[in-house]
Structure 1
């Protein structure tokens, strides 16, 4: 930008404002193009110098035109890009405050909720929303108070482009972090979305909630009472995620696995016991535990694929044996696992000769339990299965059992069911 005197800058500003005020749609669009080309990557002071300390007057006009025309999508991409230059300018926090005070944030949220607006324009609006949210806690709270989470959740479920979904994902993370007043509500909105039938939205929702809820720091401090919002959010999250362990969609299954395994890191005894009891229901192959989304996926299932019930059972056993050392650090969780009913479920899963992974992971779980608490594991197995099966399983839980032994173990599961 060339050097300009204060008087020439002021004359230029007056000329620009006059042209804008008298100009039609074509004139204003051309002015926006020139502004974007000339001022991209400039600082707030540079903008002020060019416009004679009156850059805010131009921002106000663009913001006003946006409010009047965004429903019709008139030069929407150019208006959003021009506003972005103001908001992203270094030392330009005043522009951000002025834009929000003028109602710009409400306009952004409203246009994101209008189905007819082009998705590329919504991407530009999401970038503006992120700029506002990154400005600090006050603006995060303001976005949430204007139902920003509901708007972005709705957009995620309608989005067609991966780029749009990733921007919404970023909004989730920003609004859910450093925002104590609304963090539980942000989490609750994402958790509620896990019921969606949209696979893309489902996967990103689970990724976001894992980042927000299951960070090591967060999980280590959750020792509050069952009445706390955070605790209730976790229980709801478990309820919605456990059934997805049986999803035939591998990526959904993977995200559910990672989410539940991360939650096993909690120090909260009640949450740990809740997870263990929820996984138990999958071990006993309760088909009624399957999510309705999984039932819909059954229509896409091939004949040679494992059933969602078997997939869920195998994944539950895998989570348990991989997380067992951490779970056993809590005495209440340990006691919930070292029970007759739990061993019935594990032993009957070992007998699931129709699904190799169920047998394998259940055998690994049994072997790990005998390592961590040998006396009690042996005693429970002896009571349930007898001396011969105790010997065979302790010698090699992965071994191929005779049909009479498999039948005996299957009966344990039927007795429990």
Structure 2
């Protein structure tokens, strides 16, 4: 036998062996998918557990090799089963974990597209919005949404256009809300546009007693100044400085009317304080925004909030915010001096943060009934460019 003949025979044998291995792999995957299709919940849960043990951390090419170039068929099955059963499934954590293997795999573009095509994003958003689903599972769904959004601008746009994250804001626990706000911030940063419906639920979160939630809400408010909802946010934040009881549930505490009133007002006062804080941060970051707030009447509203002796933090935050405007604009300083009177103004300039501790009822009443309106005068002194 010549050398060339031997090489040809070896090559032919190699092809046959390769073909045999491919057939065996294809047969194994086919049997695996058939077992899935015929299996009940416990069977599928066992298969997902094994899948996670053997494939977590694999790249897309490695997954394709494992599934004989048919990994997408298994991804489609997991997604479909999740969509059908997430409301009452006892193995949602396994389903989300398996989806995460595909979505987080390196070179995963194909899996992302297929996941989107079968409604995967909407399924994740629906999972987040369900009360009966555990916080751990909601957190995992949010993590998967982050993976999708980090894949590129068009994926962020798909999540934004779905409107689902916005709807979750008002129906979630503090932990989920915080994660949702962070995800929204990440998405908005790339899309640079915002749905007008985000304003109301976002501002409602300023009532939260969780500082982490308030922080994420204010950070998102700061970013949204670059979008078309900027004006709506500024006007709404100023309006929150003069709260009303509309829409706040009243709680019965020992049937005490005074306690019930305090309970119903407290979320509004927390929101009032957070709004004052947010306005200060916006004004400090942008002189243009600072001037716009003055034109919108923020000084009058801050003075009003400073007179709220039912909530010390609202007084403190409003006082600190007003301090910024007084130090930045002489015309504001002049109007505030006239509104407060010499004694209170002196105390304000000496220590704005602790002013509320030395304020009597007469002074608080003066602030609550202030008539400051310097929009026209400010416009004349500092016209818009």
TM norm structure 1: 0.66
- The SS at the match of 2:133 is coil
Change (3 A) 1:99 1:360: same
Once residues 148 and 280 of structure 2 are traced to their aligned partners in structure 1, the CA distance between those partners, rounded to angstroms, is 34
Residue 174 of structure 1 is matched in structure 2 by 186
Residue 323 of structure 2 is matched in structure 1 by 321
- The SS at the match of 1:141 is helix
Change (3 A) 1:248 1:165: closer
Once residues 189 and 199 of structure 1 are traced to their aligned partners in structure 2, the CA distance between those partners, rounded to angstroms, is 18
Offset of 1:193 from its aligned partner? 2.2
Change (3 A) 1:280 1:67: same
Residue 301 of structure 2 is matched in structure 1 by 278
Change (3 A) 1:45 1:155: farther
Change (3 A) 1:416 1:79: closer
Offset of 1:144 from its aligned partner? 2.9
- The SS at the match of 1:117 is coil
Residue 361 of structure 1 is matched in structure 2 by 348
* 1:208 equivalent in alignment to 2:216: yes
Contact (CA 8 Å) 2:76, 2:115: kept in 1 or not? Answer: yes
Once residues 183 and 364 of structure 2 are traced to their aligned partners in structure 1, the CA distance between those partners, rounded to angstroms, is 49
Taking the TM superposition and a 5 Å limit, the aligned residue runs for 1:400-411 are none
TM norm structure 2: 0.71
Cα offsets for 1:293-343 (capped at 9, x unmatched):
xxxxxxxxxxxxxx3256534432332224544x32xxxxx434423xx21
Offset of 1:60 from its aligned partner? 0.8
Residue 185 of structure 1 is matched in structure 2 by 196
Residue 279 of structure 2 is matched in structure 1 by 260
Offset of 1:40 from its aligned partner? 0.7
Q: Identify the range of structure 1 (234-243 vs 83-92) with the bigger mean alpha-carbon deviation.
A: 234-243
Residue 128 of structure 1 is matched in structure 2 by 144
Contact (CA 8 Å) 2:160, 2:188: kept in 1 or not? Answer: no
* 1:16 equivalent in alignment to 2:12: no
Change (3 A) 1:415 1:122: closer
Change (3 A) 1:104 1:113: same
* 1:199 equivalent in alignment to 2:186: no
Change (3 A) 1:335 1:137: same
Q: Give ranges in structure 1 of 5+ residues lacking alignment.
A: 223-227, 288-306, 329-333, 352-358, 366-396, 401-405
Change (3 A) 1:165 1:349: farther
Change (3 A) 1:345 1:119: same
Offset of 1:39 from its aligned partner? 0.8
Which of 68, 80, 92 aligns to 1:76? It is: 92
Cα offsets for 1:71-106 (capped at 9, x unmatched):
222421111110011001111121111011112222
Change (3 A) 1:242 1:39: farther
Contact (CA 8 Å) 2:86, 2:92: kept in 1 or not? Answer: yes
Residue 13 of structure 2 is matched in structure 1 by none
Once residues 151 and 91 of structure 2 are traced to their aligned partners in structure 1, the CA distance between those partners, rounded to angstroms, is 26
Once residues 195 and 77 of structure 1 are traced to their aligned partners in structure 2, the CA distance between those partners, rounded to angstroms, is 31
Contact (CA 8 Å) 1:59, 1:83: kept in 2 or not? Answer: yes
* 1:237 equivalent in alignment to 2:249: no
Offset of 1:277 from its aligned partner? 2.8
Contact (CA 8 Å) 1:29, 1:78: kept in 2 or not? Answer: yes
Offset of 1:69 from its aligned partner? 1.4
Once residues 77 and 105 of structure 1 are traced to their aligned partners in structure 2, the CA distance between those partners, rounded to angstroms, is 16
CA RMSD of aligned residues (A): 3.8
Q: Give ranges in structure 2 of 5+ residues lacking alignment.
A: 1-17, 245-264, 372-385
Contact (CA 8 Å) 1:44, 1:91: kept in 2 or not? Answer: yes
Offset of 1:25 from its aligned partner? 1.6
Contact (CA 8 Å) 2:169, 2:177: kept in 1 or not? Answer: no
Contact (CA 8 Å) 1:199, 1:252: kept in 2 or not? Answer: no
Change (3 A) 1:315 1:414: closer
Residue 55 of structure 1 is matched in structure 2 by 71
Taking the TM superposition and a 5 Å limit, the aligned residue runs for 1:106-117 are 106-117=122-133
Contact (CA 8 Å) 2:128, 2:138: kept in 1 or not? Answer: yes
Once residues 204 and 134 of structure 2 are traced to their aligned partners in structure 1, the CA distance between those partners, rounded to angstroms, is 23
- The SS at the match of 2:58 is coil
